[in-house]
Amino acid sequence: MHNINPAQLVSTYDGLHDVVSQLSQHPTIAVDTESNSLHAYKERICLIQFSTREEDFIVDPIAIGNLAILQPVFANKRIEKVFHAAEYDLICLWRDFGWKVNGIFDTMVAARALGWERVGLAAILSKHYSVPVNKKFQRADWAKRPLTDNQLFYAQLDTHYLLRLRDYLAFNLRKRRQWSEVHEEFERISKASIRKVRNKSECKLENDFWKISGARKLSGKNSAVLCELYKYRDKIASMRDLPTFRIIGDATLLDMAKHCPRNAKELSTIKGMTAGQIGRYQKGVLTAINRGIVSKHPSRPKLSRTDPLITLRYESLREWRKICARRRGVASDVIIARDVLWDLAVQNPTNHKELELIDDLGPWRRKKYGKEILRVLVASIE
Protein backbone atom coordinates (compact mmCIF):
# COMPACT_ATOMS: atom_id res chain seq x y z
CA MET A 1 0.00 0.00 0.00
CA HIS A 2 1.29 3.47 -0.86
CA ASN A 3 2.05 5.85 1.99
CA ILE A 4 -0.67 8.49 1.91
CA ASN A 5 -1.00 11.31 4.42
CA PRO A 6 -4.45 11.20 6.06
CA ALA A 7 -7.07 13.49 4.55
CA GLN A 8 -8.08 16.60 6.46
CA LEU A 9 -11.59 16.05 7.87
CA VAL A 10 -13.49 19.34 7.63
CA SER A 11 -16.40 19.53 10.08
CA THR A 12 -16.66 23.24 10.94
CA TYR A 13 -17.70 26.29 8.93
CA ASP A 14 -14.35 28.01 9.59
CA GLY A 15 -12.54 24.90 8.37
CA LEU A 16 -14.68 24.86 5.23
CA HIS A 17 -13.90 28.53 4.62
CA ASP A 18 -10.16 27.70 4.67
CA VAL A 19 -10.68 24.78 2.26
CA VAL A 20 -12.64 26.96 -0.19
CA SER A 21 -9.79 29.51 -0.13
CA GLN A 22 -7.33 26.74 -1.00
CA LEU A 23 -9.48 25.11 -3.68
CA SER A 24 -10.04 28.48 -5.37
CA GLN A 25 -6.30 28.80 -6.00
CA HIS A 26 -6.04 25.58 -8.03
CA PRO A 27 -6.85 25.25 -11.75
CA THR A 28 -7.74 21.55 -11.31
CA ILE A 29 -9.26 19.73 -8.34
CA ALA A 30 -10.65 16.22 -7.85
CA VAL A 31 -14.17 15.73 -6.42
CA ASP A 32 -16.33 12.85 -5.22
CA THR A 33 -19.37 12.43 -2.98
CA GLU A 34 -20.71 9.74 -0.64
CA SER A 35 -24.47 9.34 -0.10
CA ASN A 36 -26.62 7.11 2.09
CA SER A 37 -28.98 5.74 -0.58
CA LEU A 38 -29.08 2.23 0.90
CA HIS A 39 -29.93 3.47 4.38
CA ALA A 40 -32.40 6.37 4.17
CA TYR A 41 -35.88 7.16 2.79
CA LYS A 42 -34.52 10.22 1.04
CA GLU A 43 -30.84 9.90 0.30
CA ARG A 44 -28.54 12.84 0.87
CA ILE A 45 -24.91 13.68 0.34
CA CYS A 46 -23.05 12.78 3.54
CA LEU A 47 -19.48 13.58 2.45
CA ILE A 48 -17.81 15.64 -0.27
CA GLN A 49 -14.18 14.75 -0.96
CA PHE A 50 -11.69 17.07 -2.63
CA SER A 51 -8.10 16.58 -3.67
CA THR A 52 -5.57 19.10 -4.92
CA ARG A 53 -2.14 18.02 -6.13
CA GLU A 54 -0.85 18.41 -2.57
CA GLU A 55 -3.70 17.64 -0.15
CA ASP A 56 -6.91 15.66 0.38
CA PHE A 57 -9.97 17.09 2.15
CA ILE A 58 -13.14 15.37 3.34
CA VAL A 59 -15.99 17.81 3.97
CA ASP A 60 -18.75 16.72 6.37
CA PRO A 61 -22.05 18.38 5.28
CA ILE A 62 -23.93 16.81 8.21
CA ALA A 63 -21.66 18.49 10.77
CA ILE A 64 -21.34 21.83 8.94
CA GLY A 65 -24.88 22.36 7.66
CA ASN A 66 -24.61 25.38 5.37
CA LEU A 67 -22.26 24.68 2.46
CA ALA A 68 -23.21 27.71 0.33
CA ILE A 69 -19.61 29.00 0.16
CA LEU A 70 -18.72 25.93 -1.94
CA GLN A 71 -21.11 26.93 -4.74
CA PRO A 72 -18.72 29.40 -6.48
CA VAL A 73 -16.04 26.68 -6.66
CA PHE A 74 -18.42 24.33 -8.49
CA ALA A 75 -19.74 27.14 -10.72
CA ASN A 76 -16.30 28.45 -11.71
CA LYS A 77 -15.51 27.29 -15.25
CA ARG A 78 -11.84 28.13 -14.76
CA ILE A 79 -11.50 25.47 -12.06
CA GLU A 80 -11.62 22.03 -13.66
CA LYS A 81 -13.49 19.53 -11.48
CA VAL A 82 -12.28 15.96 -12.00
CA PHE A 83 -14.79 13.21 -11.18
CA HIS A 84 -14.88 9.49 -11.88
CA ALA A 85 -18.34 8.54 -13.23
CA ALA A 86 -19.59 12.09 -12.67
CA GLU A 87 -23.29 11.71 -13.51
CA TYR A 88 -24.49 10.38 -10.15
CA ASP A 89 -22.45 12.97 -8.22
CA LEU A 90 -23.79 15.77 -10.42
CA ILE A 91 -27.36 14.56 -9.86
CA CYS A 92 -26.82 14.53 -6.08
CA LEU A 93 -25.17 17.96 -5.97
CA TRP A 94 -28.03 19.51 -7.96
CA ARG A 95 -30.72 17.67 -5.97
CA ASP A 96 -29.33 18.55 -2.52
CA PHE A 97 -27.83 22.01 -3.08
CA GLY A 98 -29.02 23.27 -6.48
CA TRP A 99 -25.43 23.44 -7.72
CA LYS A 100 -24.67 23.14 -11.42
CA VAL A 101 -21.10 21.98 -11.85
CA ASN A 102 -19.17 23.71 -14.62
CA GLY A 103 -15.86 22.61 -16.10
CA ILE A 104 -15.97 18.88 -15.41
CA PHE A 105 -13.50 16.21 -16.49
CA ASP A 106 -14.83 12.67 -16.10
CA THR A 107 -12.03 10.09 -15.94
CA MET A 108 -14.44 7.21 -16.62
CA VAL A 109 -15.78 8.86 -19.78
CA ALA A 110 -12.22 9.55 -20.89
CA ALA A 111 -11.12 5.96 -20.22
CA ARG A 112 -14.09 4.58 -22.19
CA ALA A 113 -13.33 6.92 -25.11
CA LEU A 114 -9.80 5.48 -25.18
CA GLY A 115 -11.18 1.94 -25.33
CA TRP A 116 -10.25 0.83 -21.80
CA GLU A 117 -12.16 -2.34 -20.91
CA ARG A 118 -12.25 -2.12 -17.09
CA VAL A 119 -13.22 1.43 -16.17
CA GLY A 120 -14.43 1.11 -12.57
CA LEU A 121 -12.27 3.19 -10.23
CA ALA A 122 -11.28 0.18 -8.10
CA ALA A 123 -10.07 -1.70 -11.21
CA ILE A 124 -8.12 1.35 -12.45
CA LEU A 125 -6.48 2.01 -9.07
CA SER A 126 -5.49 -1.64 -8.82
CA LYS A 127 -4.07 -1.85 -12.35
CA HIS A 128 -2.34 1.53 -12.67
CA TYR A 129 -1.38 2.36 -9.08
CA SER A 130 -1.31 -1.07 -7.35
CA VAL A 131 -3.85 0.21 -4.81
CA PRO A 132 -6.37 -2.35 -3.51
CA VAL A 133 -9.80 -0.89 -2.63
CA ASN A 134 -12.04 -2.47 0.00
CA LYS A 135 -15.42 -2.53 -1.71
CA LYS A 136 -17.36 -3.25 1.48
CA PHE A 137 -17.57 0.49 2.14
CA GLN A 138 -19.66 0.99 -1.02
CA ARG A 139 -22.62 -0.12 1.09
CA ALA A 140 -21.67 1.83 4.23
CA ASP A 141 -24.09 4.16 6.01
CA TRP A 142 -22.24 7.40 5.37
CA ALA A 143 -24.68 9.40 7.51
CA LYS A 144 -23.62 7.51 10.64
CA ARG A 145 -21.22 9.32 12.95
CA PRO A 146 -18.45 9.01 14.01
CA LEU A 147 -16.80 7.89 10.78
CA THR A 148 -14.14 5.22 11.18
CA ASP A 149 -10.54 5.66 10.00
CA ASN A 150 -11.15 2.93 7.41
CA GLN A 151 -14.19 4.79 6.04
CA LEU A 152 -12.23 8.02 5.80
CA PHE A 153 -9.38 6.26 4.01
CA TYR A 154 -11.79 4.65 1.54
CA ALA A 155 -13.39 8.05 0.84
CA GLN A 156 -9.97 9.63 0.42
CA LEU A 157 -8.92 7.05 -2.19
CA ASP A 158 -11.87 8.10 -4.38
CA THR A 159 -10.13 11.39 -5.19
CA HIS A 160 -6.46 10.99 -4.16
CA TYR A 161 -5.28 9.53 -7.49
CA LEU A 162 -7.78 11.24 -9.79
CA LEU A 163 -5.57 14.17 -10.81
CA ARG A 164 -2.71 11.84 -11.71
CA LEU A 165 -5.15 9.68 -13.67
CA ARG A 166 -6.64 12.75 -15.36
CA ASP A 167 -3.17 13.85 -16.58
CA TYR A 168 -2.45 10.41 -18.04
CA LEU A 169 -5.82 10.27 -19.78
CA ALA A 170 -5.56 13.87 -21.04
CA PHE A 171 -2.13 13.15 -22.56
CA ASN A 172 -3.54 10.16 -24.49
CA LEU A 173 -6.69 12.02 -25.52
CA ARG A 174 -4.63 14.84 -27.02
CA LYS A 175 -2.27 12.37 -28.64
CA ARG A 176 -5.24 10.67 -30.35
CA ARG A 177 -7.00 13.99 -31.06
CA GLN A 178 -10.02 13.04 -28.96
CA TRP A 179 -9.96 16.04 -26.60
CA SER A 180 -12.94 17.79 -28.24
CA GLU A 181 -14.94 14.57 -28.37
CA VAL A 182 -14.75 13.85 -24.63
CA HIS A 183 -15.28 17.46 -23.58
CA GLU A 184 -18.46 17.52 -25.60
CA GLU A 185 -19.61 14.43 -23.68
CA PHE A 186 -18.66 16.07 -20.35
CA GLU A 187 -20.95 18.98 -21.21
CA ARG A 188 -23.79 16.65 -22.24
CA ILE A 189 -23.58 14.72 -18.96
CA SER A 190 -23.59 17.97 -16.99
CA LYS A 191 -26.83 19.14 -18.65
CA ALA A 192 -28.50 15.71 -18.65
CA SER A 193 -27.97 15.20 -14.91
CA ILE A 194 -30.00 18.33 -14.08
CA ARG A 195 -32.82 17.24 -16.41
CA LYS A 196 -32.96 13.85 -14.68
CA VAL A 197 -33.46 15.45 -11.25
CA ARG A 198 -36.20 17.76 -12.59
CA ASN A 199 -38.02 14.90 -14.33
CA LYS A 200 -37.90 12.74 -11.21
CA SER A 201 -39.27 15.52 -9.00
CA GLU A 202 -42.31 15.87 -11.28
CA CYS A 203 -43.39 12.22 -10.80
CA LYS A 204 -46.49 11.68 -8.66
CA LEU A 205 -46.39 9.08 -5.89
CA GLU A 206 -49.96 7.85 -6.43
CA ASN A 207 -49.02 6.49 -9.87
CA ASP A 208 -45.57 5.15 -8.97
CA PHE A 209 -46.93 1.72 -8.02
CA TRP A 210 -47.51 0.99 -11.72
CA LYS A 211 -43.72 0.89 -12.12
CA ILE A 212 -43.52 -2.33 -10.09
CA SER A 213 -42.79 -5.23 -12.42
CA GLY A 214 -46.03 -7.14 -13.02
CA ALA A 215 -48.36 -4.37 -11.77
CA ARG A 216 -49.96 -3.81 -15.18
CA LYS A 217 -51.07 -7.46 -15.32
CA LEU A 218 -53.22 -7.13 -12.18
CA SER A 219 -57.02 -6.91 -12.27
CA GLY A 220 -58.72 -3.68 -11.22
CA LYS A 221 -59.35 -4.82 -7.63
CA ASN A 222 -55.82 -6.19 -7.19
CA SER A 223 -54.26 -3.05 -8.63
CA ALA A 224 -56.24 -1.01 -6.07
CA VAL A 225 -54.83 -3.23 -3.32
CA LEU A 226 -51.29 -2.75 -4.66
CA CYS A 227 -51.84 1.02 -4.73
CA GLU A 228 -52.86 1.05 -1.04
CA LEU A 229 -49.99 -1.25 -0.04
CA TYR A 230 -47.56 0.96 -1.93
CA LYS A 231 -48.81 4.09 -0.13
CA TYR A 232 -48.66 2.33 3.24
CA ARG A 233 -45.07 1.16 2.62
CA ASP A 234 -44.03 4.67 1.56
CA LYS A 235 -45.55 6.17 4.73
CA ILE A 236 -43.69 3.67 6.96
CA ALA A 237 -40.42 4.16 5.08
CA SER A 238 -40.73 7.92 5.53
CA MET A 239 -41.49 7.57 9.26
CA ARG A 240 -38.60 5.16 9.84
CA ASP A 241 -36.27 7.01 7.43
CA LEU A 242 -35.44 3.83 5.53
CA PRO A 243 -35.44 2.99 1.80
CA THR A 244 -38.75 1.38 0.80
CA PHE A 245 -37.05 -1.90 -0.20
CA ARG A 246 -35.93 -2.32 3.43
CA ILE A 247 -39.56 -2.20 4.60
CA ILE A 248 -41.11 -4.68 2.13
CA GLY A 249 -39.73 -5.61 -1.31
CA ASP A 250 -41.58 -4.92 -4.57
CA ALA A 251 -42.07 -8.62 -5.40
CA THR A 252 -43.57 -9.27 -1.94
CA LEU A 253 -45.89 -6.27 -2.32
CA LEU A 254 -47.07 -7.61 -5.68
CA ASP A 255 -47.66 -11.10 -4.24
CA MET A 256 -49.80 -9.62 -1.46
CA ALA A 257 -51.82 -7.65 -4.02
CA LYS A 258 -52.43 -10.84 -6.01
CA HIS A 259 -53.56 -13.00 -3.05
CA CYS A 260 -55.07 -10.36 -0.71
CA PRO A 261 -54.29 -12.17 2.59
CA ARG A 262 -56.84 -11.41 5.35
CA ASN A 263 -54.94 -12.48 8.51
CA ALA A 264 -51.48 -13.25 9.92
CA LYS A 265 -51.67 -16.92 8.91
CA GLU A 266 -52.38 -16.02 5.27
CA LEU A 267 -49.69 -13.33 5.38
CA SER A 268 -47.13 -15.99 6.35
CA THR A 269 -47.73 -17.77 3.01
CA ILE A 270 -46.63 -14.68 1.05
CA LYS A 271 -43.19 -15.22 -0.46
CA GLY A 272 -40.62 -12.87 1.07
CA MET A 273 -42.78 -11.89 4.07
CA THR A 274 -40.71 -12.70 7.16
CA ALA A 275 -41.95 -13.31 10.70
CA GLY A 276 -40.34 -10.00 11.70
CA GLN A 277 -42.19 -8.10 8.99
CA ILE A 278 -45.49 -9.74 9.93
CA GLY A 279 -44.97 -8.80 13.58
CA ARG A 280 -44.08 -5.22 12.71
CA TYR A 281 -46.43 -4.44 9.82
CA GLN A 282 -49.34 -6.91 10.07
CA LYS A 283 -51.94 -4.40 11.19
CA GLY A 284 -51.01 -1.74 8.64
CA VAL A 285 -50.69 -4.21 5.76
CA LEU A 286 -54.06 -5.88 6.42
CA THR A 287 -55.75 -2.48 6.79
CA ALA A 288 -54.23 -1.36 3.46
CA ILE A 289 -55.43 -4.56 1.76
CA ASN A 290 -58.98 -4.07 3.10
CA ARG A 291 -58.93 -0.44 1.99
CA GLY A 292 -57.81 -1.50 -1.50
CA ILE A 293 -60.54 -4.13 -1.82
CA VAL A 294 -63.29 -1.52 -1.41
CA SER A 295 -61.47 1.33 -3.20
CA LYS A 296 -62.23 2.68 -6.63
CA HIS A 297 -60.03 0.93 -9.18
CA PRO A 298 -57.09 3.15 -10.21
CA SER A 299 -56.92 4.31 -13.82
CA ARG A 300 -54.47 2.22 -15.77
CA PRO A 301 -51.90 4.50 -17.42
CA LYS A 302 -52.09 4.45 -21.17
CA LEU A 303 -49.16 2.82 -22.90
CA SER A 304 -47.68 5.35 -25.24
CA ARG A 305 -47.52 3.84 -28.70
CA THR A 306 -44.34 4.62 -30.54
CA ASP A 307 -44.60 5.43 -34.21
CA PRO A 308 -43.17 2.38 -36.06
CA LEU A 309 -41.15 4.73 -38.28
CA ILE A 310 -39.42 6.16 -35.19
CA THR A 311 -38.56 2.64 -34.05
CA LEU A 312 -37.26 1.79 -37.51
CA ARG A 313 -35.07 4.90 -37.60
CA TYR A 314 -33.77 4.21 -34.09
CA GLU A 315 -32.86 0.60 -34.88
CA SER A 316 -31.08 1.71 -38.09
CA LEU A 317 -29.10 4.31 -36.14
CA ARG A 318 -28.28 1.77 -33.42
CA GLU A 319 -26.93 -0.69 -35.98
CA TRP A 320 -24.83 2.06 -37.56
CA ARG A 321 -23.51 3.09 -34.12
CA LYS A 322 -22.60 -0.51 -33.30
CA ILE A 323 -20.50 -0.77 -36.49
CA CYS A 324 -18.73 2.54 -35.69
CA ALA A 325 -18.00 1.40 -32.13
CA ARG A 326 -16.67 -1.99 -33.25
CA ARG A 327 -14.37 -0.26 -35.74
CA ARG A 328 -12.94 1.94 -32.97
CA GLY A 329 -12.87 -0.71 -30.25
CA VAL A 330 -15.15 1.19 -27.85
CA ALA A 331 -18.60 0.73 -26.30
CA SER A 332 -21.48 1.88 -28.55
CA ASP A 333 -22.55 4.85 -26.41
CA VAL A 334 -19.06 6.36 -26.67
CA ILE A 335 -19.98 7.18 -30.28
CA ILE A 336 -23.34 8.80 -29.39
CA ALA A 337 -25.38 8.41 -26.20
CA ARG A 338 -28.58 6.36 -26.36
CA ASP A 339 -30.81 9.34 -25.46
CA VAL A 340 -29.32 11.38 -28.29
CA LEU A 341 -29.85 8.51 -30.72
CA TRP A 342 -33.51 8.41 -29.69
CA ASP A 343 -33.88 12.18 -30.18
CA LEU A 344 -32.46 11.80 -33.68
CA ALA A 345 -34.98 9.06 -34.47
CA VAL A 346 -37.89 11.14 -33.13
CA GLN A 347 -36.95 14.47 -34.71
CA ASN A 348 -35.68 12.93 -37.97
CA PRO A 349 -33.47 15.80 -39.18
CA THR A 350 -33.06 15.98 -42.95
CA ASN A 351 -30.14 18.42 -43.22
CA HIS A 352 -27.24 19.84 -41.21
CA LYS A 353 -29.23 22.86 -40.04
CA GLU A 354 -31.87 20.58 -38.54
CA LEU A 355 -29.13 18.49 -36.89
CA GLU A 356 -28.25 21.61 -34.88
CA LEU A 357 -31.71 21.43 -33.27
CA ILE A 358 -30.78 18.15 -31.52
CA ASP A 359 -29.83 19.64 -28.14
CA ASP A 360 -27.28 17.06 -26.99
CA LEU A 361 -25.62 16.40 -30.34
CA GLY A 362 -22.64 18.71 -30.06
CA PRO A 363 -20.64 20.37 -32.85
CA TRP A 364 -17.83 17.77 -32.79
CA ARG A 365 -20.23 14.85 -33.32
CA ARG A 366 -22.24 16.79 -35.90
CA LYS A 367 -19.08 17.37 -37.90
CA LYS A 368 -17.74 13.82 -37.41
CA TYR A 369 -20.95 11.83 -37.90
CA GLY A 370 -23.47 14.28 -39.40
CA LYS A 371 -23.31 13.04 -43.00
CA GLU A 372 -23.56 9.39 -41.94
CA ILE A 373 -26.48 10.08 -39.58
CA LEU A 374 -28.45 11.85 -42.32
CA ARG A 375 -27.65 9.03 -44.74
CA VAL A 376 -28.83 6.36 -42.25
CA LEU A 377 -32.05 8.27 -41.53
CA VAL A 378 -32.88 8.52 -45.26
CA ALA A 379 -31.95 4.89 -45.94
CA SER A 380 -34.05 3.60 -43.02
CA ILE A 381 -37.33 4.37 -44.80
CA GLU A 382 -36.32 3.41 -48.34
Per residue in 6-31, pLDDT tens? 999 999 999 999 999 999 999 999 99
Percentage of the chain modeled with pLDDT above 90: 90
pLDDT, mean of residues 314-327: 98
- Dump the DSSP string for 7-28: PEEE-SHHHHHHHHHHHTT-SE
The predicted structure's pLDDT at residue 199 = 65
Average pLDDT on 118-142 reads 91
Question: Average of pLDDT values for 102-131?
Answer: 96
Q: What is the model's pLDDT at position 302?
A: 84
What is the pLDDT at residue 198?
A: 66
Alpha carbon distances (Å) from 96 to 43, 47, 88, 100: 9, 12, 12, 11
Q: Would the pLDDT of 202 be above 80?
A: no
Q: Is the pLDDT of residue 289 over 70?
A: yes
DSSP 287-334: HHHHHHHHSPPPPPPPPPPPPHHHHHHHHHHHHHHHHHHHHHTS-HHH
Reported as a pLDDT band with limits 50, 70 and 90, residue 305 is confident
Position 135 scores a pLDDT of: 81
Average pLDDT over residues 142-149: 96
Residue 237's pLDDT band, with cuts at 50, 70 and 90, is very high
The answer to whether the CB of 134 falls within 8 A of the CB of 126 is no
Contact 6, 17 (CB under 8 A): no
Per-residue model confidence (pLDDT) at position 93: 97
- The whole-number average pLDDT for the span 306-328 is 96
The yes-or-no verdict on residue 377 having pLDDT over 70 is: yes
Can you say how many angstroms the Cα of residue 132 is from the centroid of all Cα atoms in its chain? 24
Q: Determine the average pLDDT of the residues in 151-173.
A: 97
The backbone torsions φ and ψ at residue 45, rounded to the nearest 5 degrees and listed phi first, read: -70, 125
Q: Model confidence at 242, in pLDDT bands (50, 70, 90)?
A: very high
pLDDT in tens, 204-218: 566 899 999 999 999
pLDDT at position 136 over 90: no
Closest to 198 measured CA to CA, from 348, 323, 75, 98: 98
Assess whether pLDDT exceeds 70 at residue 268: yes
pLDDT band at 258 (very low <50, low <70, confident <90, very high): very high
Distance CA 216, CA 219 (A): 8
Structural domains in the chain plus CATH codes: 8-201 (3.30.420.10), 205-294 (1.10.150.80), 308-379 (1.10.150.80)
**What number is the average pLDDT over the span 90-119?**
96
For residues 222 and 220, give the distance between their C-alpha atoms in angstroms, rounded to a whole number.
Answer: 6
Q: Does residue 1 surpass a pLDDT of 50?
A: no
Mean pLDDT of the chain: 94
Using CA of residue 102, residue 108, residue 112, residue 114, what is the dihedral sign?
Answer: positive
Q: How much is the average pLDDT of 87-91?
A: 96
pLDDT (0 to 100) of residue 308: 93
pLDDT(306) > 90: no
pLDDT in tens, 329-340: 999 999 999 999
Average pLDDT of the residues in 219-227: 95
Range 177-207 burial, b when 16+ CB lie within 10 A, else e: ebeebbbbbbebbbebbbeebeeeeeeeeee
Q: What is the pLDDT of residue 201?
A: 57
